[in-house]
Amino acid sequence: MINKIRLISILCFILPVFTVLSSYFFSIKLNYVNFCIPNIDGCTSISQVGRYPPVNFFFKTLMFISIFFTFLYWRYNYLLISENKNSFIYKLSYILGIFSIFFFSLYIIFLGEGDYYRFFRRIGIFIYIFFIVISELLLSISFRKKFNLFSYISIVNFKFYFNILLSALGLILLPLVIYKVVDYPNFKNIVSWNYFFLIKINFLITFFCWKKI
């Protein structure tokens, strides 16, 4: 099962990143968005690169496939962690992970134009971010508890400290994005692109955690 979770973890990292970058490239070719380095310039949002046909069919299809693998990610991690001791922390991590899948699905379904789509899209992505960050933090705590690895050079501990940093960034940046406190061009898009990649890096770290174990 460890080989399965490692494969699923790497797919959960590669597939969404590939989908977003490919959709961005196709949207440029179709003149839906301008070319820039979105992590730095923030000239467009992730939602915009996957919003318009025919790119949206490609974007949504691959994202729903990645959602399926994310479900397997949480399921297999739960089964592996709970082999010896079914801790409350990981039960909560598993539940929040499933909730994050639901709200990310909501975000993908409501990609479109208009206030109605925008409302549900924003609800979906903000709650998804909250649940996925907390669930990954709890997962990293479960790893430390199960395998009792406290060395500072351990990949398990790296995952834990990475998620502490990710949670802290979320607490600082999310209010700035919601209330538009920072008067900087495309600040929201810059945060969204970089935070998206940081969240996906978590899956890559999990891949190495199971290899180390």
pLDDT digits (tens, 9 = 90+) for 84-143: 555 788 889 999 999 999 999 988 988 866 565 666 677 788 889 999 999 999 999 988
Q: Which amino acid is at 60?
A: K
Query: Using CA atoms, how far apart are residues 88 and 97, in angstroms rounded to an integer?
Result: 14
pLDDT of residue 152: 47
User: Is the pLDDT assigned to residue 178 strictly greater than 80?
Assistant: no
Which of 136, 107, 139, 132 lies closest to 121 in space, CA to CA?
107
Considering all CA atoms of the chain, what is the largest pairwise distance in Å, rounded to the nearest integer? 54
Say whether pTM exceeds 0.95.
no
When pLDDT is averaged across residues 20-44 and rounded to a whole number, the result is: 94
pLDDT of residue 213: 58
Instruction: Give the 3-state secondary structure of the chain.
Output: CHHHHHHHHHHHHHHHHHHHHHHHHHHHHCCCCCCCCHHHHCCCCHHHHCCCCCHHHHHHHHHHHHHHHHHHHHHHHHHHHCCCCCCHHHHHHHHHHHHHHHHHHHHHHCCCCCHHHHHHHHHHHHHHHHHHHHHHHHHHHHHHHHHCCCCCCCHHHHHHHHHHHHHHHHHHHHHHHHHCCCCCCCHHHHHHHHHHHHHHHHHHHHHHHHHHC
Least confident segment among 103-107, 173-177, 190-194: 173-177
Query: Using CA atoms, how far apart are residues 50 and 107, in angstroms rounded to an integer?
Result: 11
Residue 131: how many other CB atoms lie within 10 Å? 20
When pLDDT is averaged across residues 58-86 and rounded to a whole number, the result is: 89
When pLDDT is averaged across residues 38-57 and rounded to a whole number, the result is: 92
